[in-house]
Amino acid sequence: MNIKKIRNFSIIAHIDHGKSTLADRLIEHTHALPMREMKEQILDTLEVERLHGITVKSQSVRLNYNGYTLNMIDTPGHVDFSYEVSRSLSACEGALLVVDASQGVEAQTIAHSYLALENGLKIIPVINKIDLPTADVEKTKTEIKEAIGIDTEDAICISAKLNTGIDKVLKSIIEKIPHPKGKEKPLKALIIDSWYDNYKGIVCLVRVFDGKIKTGENIMMYSTRKTYEVTECGVFTPKINVLDELPTGSVGYMICGIKNIKEALVGDTITDPEKPVSVPISGFKKSKPCVFASIYPTDPRDFPEFKKALEKLQLNDASLTFQPDSSTALGCGFRCGFLGLLHLKITKERLETEFGLDIVVTAPTVVYRVKTKEEKIMDISNPAHFPDNVLSVSEPYVSAEIIIPAEFLGNTMKLLREKRGIQKDMTYISSNRVIVKVLLPFSEIVTDFHEKLKSYTKGYGSFDYEFEGYRPSDIVRLNILVNGKPVDALSTIIHKEKTYVYARNMLQNLRKLVPRQLFEVRLQAAIGKRIIAKEEIKPLRKNVTAKCYGGDITRKMKLLEKQKAGKKRMKEIGNIKIDKEAFLQALGIQ
């Protein structure tokens, strides 16, 4: 294969800007699949991707066009899956920047464009959905130029849905994106992705920078220094096409009998065991979990199946982390780490749909940095592990970039004040579009920030964020007590100024959900030993004097005193059983 005839490119865009539709049209135009086998979102293989109309996992496909080999990598658009974008861009020389002509530049469009520019990629602006009545091509070109700094004179205007302008896109890829460069030896390749196949073991999606990967030859993983024999290699067209070798500059898959996903780390460098490279491939952004939540099976007997399901899911999604956790209310489960709220939601749906599990998910939290009075520094994500002897607490902040129509600026600034935001900058990218840069506590984003932003801006607001660092904050642990006993599943780590409102809402919800008992039930919210809110559930009362018809009043008084003493004893020794549905509704998860 002539390396000058190879083009490696990604498609980057904001969510719902037509990225997957464009990928479908490119596959159709290059006749990679017969038309009878084509379907919408052909590269979105997960059920949840089709359900939500989003891309979660990066997918690669080899296309042949006018004697050229085009390796396309479709990438997710949501901020939670930026790690997928980073590793895809590390394997390319160019990218198609797809922007919806009716919506213009969005926050994640800018973030992914900057990531592509940092990787030195050639960016081709593609303006999609020009067929819509609300499309404004010239305004979109201006926004791309002002927000990203890319020349839009030669921007390609297309309608992926109507199959308009696709040939121009293919020709532009060949003319503008440079061919890969590489040496014949030694072998140097990047693991873009890896997943588990029930029959073949670990499958690695790779980009070969130098040398070649050949069936029957040995390769070595740079990080583990372990050596394996390549048993199979090939490309996706998007069907599996087995080849004898993957030459320099190509993108394909490799199987070499690896059974443990930890031995095929995403972002690792593959090299020659006899002449290994001295420096690994750089430019890959490693994923780190930012949001944590505990997940429990509703039926304790399903715990072994639940554990196996998480292990299988982790093989397919290396960004998912989990460790054993237990709760007196909910039983045994796992404390899981996610990249964001959408990642949590997608994982929950995959556990339910792909593995048929019925699960309970607690409220999401972030990692706080706690300094104790003994000068010990701890990273805490679980309220149950929050120490009592706290000297200071720092919470994670993110640097957010929000793009909104100017008419909703007032509503957005109100939301940012509610969420303890610190404004850094504000820029108009057109006469009626504004970029607001702000520092936000990450804990405020993982609750309802995205939903409120969409509500306040009538669906036109978008935002992107990246981790900024830790800042000192007035953070406390709020405990919920039922008859004086703390319920760990309802405890939370929260900013002090929001504790009272949160506590009142939580106790009022619980008051409606906890069934009445024969004795009084006290619901309390406490910070340390200080009670800040309380509610009472009145006891059920049996009419013990109903059988007394007349007679001395002392008979009734004795019965009432006996009942009172019994209720007092029940109140001291009685246990309250709160069902899991009540937990879910109290936490606002369902």
Render each residue's pLDDT in the chain as its tens digit; 590 residues. 688 888 999 888 877 777 778 888 888 888 877 666 665 555 554 444 444 444 445 567 888 888 899 988 876 645 555 556 677 778 888 989 888 888 888 777 777 787 788 778 899 999 988 888 888 888 888 888 888 888 888 889 988 888 888 889 899 999 999 988 888 878 899 888 777 777 788 888 888 998 899 998 899 888 888 898 999 999 888 788 888 888 888 888 898 888 776 777 777 888 888 888 888 877 555 566 777 888 888 888 888 899 888 887 776 676 788 888 877 667 788 888 887 777 788 888 888 888 888 888 877 778 889 998 888 898 888 887 888 888 899 998 988 888 888 888 888 899 999 888 898 888 887 777 888 899 999 888 877 787 788 788 877 777 777 788 899 999 999 988 887 888 777 788 888 888 899 889 888 888 887 777 766 788 889 988 899 998 888 777 666 566 676 666 777 777 777 767 765 655 444 455 555 555 555 555 43
DSSP string, 379-411: EE-SGGG--SSEEEEEEEEEEEEEEEEGGGHHH
Is 490 within the bounds of a domain?
A: yes
Domain shared by 167 and 33, yes or no: yes
DSSP string, 433-449: EEEEEEEEEHHHIIIII
- Residue-wise pLDDT tens digits, 522-548: 888 998 889 999 888 877 766 656 667
Side chain identity at residue 166, one-letter code: I
Rounded Cα distance between 137 and 534, Å, is 58
Contact 22, 167 (CB under 8 A): no
Domain extent, residue 231, equals 188-271
Domain shared by 357 and 454, yes or no: no
For 590, the enclosing helix (H) or strand (E) is: none
Domain shared by 74 and 52, yes or no: yes
| Strands 94-100 and 122-128, sheet pairing | parallel
Contact 446, 341 (CB under 8 A): yes
237 Cβ neighbours under 8 A, 6+ residues apart: 32, 33, 61, 62, 63
Contact 147, 106 (CB under 8 A): no
Domain shared by 355 and 374, yes or no: no
Vertex 356, ends 354 and 360: CA angle to 5°? 110
* CA neighbor of 49 nearest in space, from 12, 25, 78, 85: 78
Is 283 within the bounds of a domain?
A: no
**CATH number of 194's domain:** 2.40.30.10
Give residue for tokens 């020659």: 272
Q: Which of 456, 473, 490 corresponds to the end of one domain?
A: 473
Contact 233, 243 (CB under 8 A): yes
Number of domains comprising the chain: 5
Q: Which of 429, 455, 473 corresponds to the end of one domain?
A: 473
pTM above 0.75, yes or no: no
Q: Which of 458, 473, 488 corresponds to the end of one domain?
A: 473
pLDDT the model gives residue 49: 43
